[in-house]
Amino acid sequence: MASEHVIEEKKQGQALVTNNIKGNTKKLFIESYGCQMNMNDSEIVAAILETQGYNTTNKLEEADLVLVNTCSIREKAEQTIRKRLQKYNRVKIDENPKMKIGVLGCMAERLKTKFLDEEKMVDLVVGPDAYKDLPNLLKEVEEGRDAINVILSKEETYGDISPVRLNSNGVSAFVTITRGCDNMCTFCVVPFTRGRERSRDPKSIIDEAKDLWNKGFKEITLLGQNADSYLWYGGGLKKEFKKASEIAQQTAIDFAKLLEMVATALPKMRIRFATSNPYDMHEDVLHAIANHDNICKYIHLPVQSGSTRILKKMNRQHTREEYIELIDKIRTIIPDCAISHDIITGFCTETEEDHQQTLSLMDYVKYDFGFMFAYSERPGTLAAKKMPDDVPLEVKKRRLTEIINKQMAHSKFRLEQFIGKTVEVLIDGVSKKNKEEWKGRNSQNAVVVFPKTGSEKLGDLVHVKINRATAATLIGEKI
Ligand code: 5AD
Ligand code: SF4
């Protein structure tokens, strides 16, 4: 399998289209790469630009403004984006010289003025915390100047902006709850591109969720680089919590409380969340999941490596044994919970023995899904500064293949456990292979396909008896 992933990344790099506000005459072409947070940020950007007279378009040639929301997580992600920028520039020169081009997101934050000075490929560079400055920056650009804002913020959560839902199926939506990351894993560029952790006011989260429900949405995913680290004490950085007043500290709302609040306020909305760092995931979150039928029984719990020695080098703050303890707790408190992982192969100094530890951890957990990557050194990270990238590429790739093969076997094993059972499926679209079939997901996030009967519609929760499983899909019939 050539791909780095077992699971596809959603809607990578597609033009994001939806809004059509009457009276808006300017056209925005916006593409998003990377994580779900980036997708949601593009929806926030579209909302900000809607007030500036822009509607979205999927025709690159006709755009007045082209924005690419970028990812820096691995070198390959950055290369893909550079190619896209070259393509935009060709279209600009050949077909639409008035077009303005801007870079948003993590790569904007990482490379800053380099885009303007060296590459001369863009007019506008905006980091993840500066989107509210877009109207001012666009004025600069319209007056013929390059514009840049890559200032990271202590407070910005965009809690007051109602995102324009782009490429939406009208059923599932993202709701961002925290921004930034304080964990400082040594391989990861995110703390540098997205800044320090801060949480969003729970009231604005619940208001947004209610608004989505009223608009017909049936599922929300609460998003954070580190969702379990959510902590609201009136605003401000997580790391300044200890400086807050006693009352603020006592009345603070953590992730378990937030989950309970959202699940109770919207008892029929399906609730998912991502991503969980094992270090920050506590037992009360597991009880919240177990206690509410509407919180999906699925946890994305990246482990990165099964070797305690490597975990230490990665600054992951937990050992292999502690991770296994957490897995055991999940299995006890939520017996039907699906679990997925992220794993990196070939991190600095990784030996065959370390790799075997990762494989044996996978055997222990038998994950339902997984996202797997070969280590890619990122400039500026502690690993890049202090640890030689000493595992040869062929070795990284061979280990990656072994891990992917194992995950495929485990995914198959997990899917097969549903055969003969009846599961609850939220219909989120029509099957790509057959228009006469619906597609949806069960609580455990497995994709389920079944024939239409004529009595159900998009957004319905239906019961489906599972008859068989392919490599990544359950196939059944509505009962
Ligand atoms: N190289 C390879 N994979 C990485 N990830 C993060 N940084 C790197 C890197 N430098 C992976 C981790 C993380 C996921 C989002 O991307 O597994 O959990
Ligand atoms: Fe990529 Fe990470 Fe930035 Fe998301 S937060 S876009 S995964 S670098």
The pLDDT tens digits for 205-215 are 999 999 999 99
- What are the Cα distances from residue 28, in Å, to 4, 13, 58, 122? 31, 15, 8, 15
Mutate which of 33, 185, 342, 393 to test ligand 1's pocket (most atoms within 8 Å of Cβ)? Answer: 342
Considering every ligand atom shown, identify the ligand nearest to the alpha carbon of residue 128 and give its number.
2
Q: How far apart are the CA of 42 and the centre of ligand 2, in A?
A: 13
The verdict on 394 and 426 lying in the same domain is no
- Per-residue pLDDT of 128-169, as tens digits, reads 999 999 999 999 999 999 999 999 999 999 999 999 999 899
Residue length of the chain: 479
Q: How far apart are the CA of 159 and the centre of ligand 2, in A?
A: 20
- Closest ligand 2 atom to residue 72 Cα is 8
Q: Is residue 165 part of a domain?
A: no
| Residue 385 belongs to domain with CATH number | 3.80.30.20
378 phi and psi angles, rounded to 5 deg: -110, 125
The verdict on 399 and 453 lying in the same domain is no
At 9 the pLDDT is: 39
Pocket of ligand 2 (CB under 6 A): 34-35, 37-38, 71-73, 105-106, 189-190, 193-194, 225
The verdict on 329 and 182 lying in the same domain is yes
The verdict on 130 and 217 lying in the same domain is no
Supply the range of the domain harboring residue 289: 175-416
The verdict on 243 and 386 lying in the same domain is yes
At 11 the pLDDT is: 53
- Closest ligand 1 atom to residue 187 Cα is 10
| Residue 444 belongs to domain with CATH number | 2.40.50.140
Q: How far apart are the CA of 316 and the centre of ligand 1, in A?
A: 12
The verdict on 412 and 428 lying in the same domain is no
Q: How far apart are the CA of 188 and the centre of ligand 1, in A?
A: 6
| Residue 23 belongs to domain with CATH number | 3.40.50.12160
Q: Is residue 164 part of a domain?
A: no
- Per-residue pLDDT of 277-298, as tens digits, reads 999 999 999 999 999 999 999 9
Q: Is residue 162 part of a domain?
A: no
Q: How far apart are the CA of 376 and the centre of ligand 2, in A?
A: 14
Q: Is residue 166 part of a domain?
A: no
The verdict on 409 and 447 lying in the same domain is no
Mutate which of 39, 111, 194 to test ligand 2's pocket (most atoms within 8 Å of Cβ)? Answer: 194
Mark out the alpha helices in 155-241 (DSSP H runs). Answer: 190-194, 202-214
Mark out the alpha helices in 167-307 (DSSP H runs). Answer: 190-194, 202-214, 246-250, 255-265, 283-291
Q: How far apart are the CA of 35 and the centre of ligand 2, in A?
A: 6
pTM: 0.94
The verdict on 439 and 315 lying in the same domain is no
Strands 473-478 and 447-451: parallel
Query: Rounded to whole angstroms, how far apart are CA atoms 18 and 292?
Result: 33
Q: Whose CA is nearest to atom 1 of ligand 2?
A: 71
Q: How far apart are the CA of 191 and the centre of ligand 2, in A?
A: 10
The verdict on 25 and 84 lying in the same domain is yes
Mutate which of 9, 32, 106, 129 to test ligand 2's pocket (most atoms within 8 Å of Cβ)? Answer: 106
The verdict on 199 and 334 lying in the same domain is yes
Q: Is residue 75 part of a domain?
A: yes
At 3 the pLDDT is: 36
Q: Is residue 205 part of a domain?
A: yes
Q: Whose CA is nearest to atom 2 of ligand 1?
A: 375
User: Quick one: residue 225, left, alpha or beta (phi over 0 = left, psi -120 to 50 = alpha)?
Assistant: alpha
Q: Whose CA is nearest to atom 4 of ligand 2?
A: 35
Query: Rounded to whole angstroms, how far apart are CA atoms 344 and 355?
Result: 10
The verdict on 246 and 191 lying in the same domain is yes
The verdict on 200 and 85 lying in the same domain is no
Residues 280, 284, 290, CA angle at the centre, nearest 5°? 120
Low-confidence ranges of the chain (pLDDT < 50): 1-10
What contacts 229, CB < 8 A, 6 or more positions away? 178, 182, 197, 238, 255, 277, 280
Q: How far apart are the CA of 307 and the centre of ligand 1, in A?
A: 16
Of 149, 166, 201, the residue at which a domain comes to its end is: 149
Q: Whose CA is nearest to atom 6 of ligand 1?
A: 188
Considering every ligand atom shown, identify the ligand nearest to the alpha carbon of residue 303 and give its number.
1
- Per-residue pLDDT of 54-75, as tens digits, reads 999 999 999 999 999 999 999 9
Which pairs from 137-142 meet CB under 8 Å and 24+ separation?
A: 138/52, 138/65, 138/100, 141/100, 141/102
At 220 the pLDDT is: 98
Pocket of ligand 1 (CB under 6 A): 73-74, 187-188, 302, 304, 342, 344, 373, 375-376, 378
Q: How far apart are the CA of 428 and the centre of ligand 2, in A?
A: 26
Considering every ligand atom shown, identify the ligand nearest to the alpha carbon of residue 179 and give its number.
2
At 12 the pLDDT is: 67
Of 370, 401, 416, the residue at which a domain comes to its end is: 416
Q: Is residue 12 part of a domain?
A: yes
Mutate which of 344, 376, 382 to test ligand 1's pocket (most atoms within 8 Å of Cβ)? Answer: 344
Coil, helix or strand at residue 461: strand
Token pair for residue 419?
Answer: 């055969």
At 21 the pLDDT is: 81
Query: Rounded to whole angstroms, how far apart are CA atoms 302 and 305?
Result: 9
Of 366, 390, 416, the residue at which a domain comes to its end is: 416
- Give the chain's domain count: 3
Q: How far apart are the CA of 107 and the centre of ligand 2, in A?
A: 9
Q: How far apart are the CA of 74 and the centre of ligand 1, in A?
A: 7
Q: Is residue 195 part of a domain?
A: yes
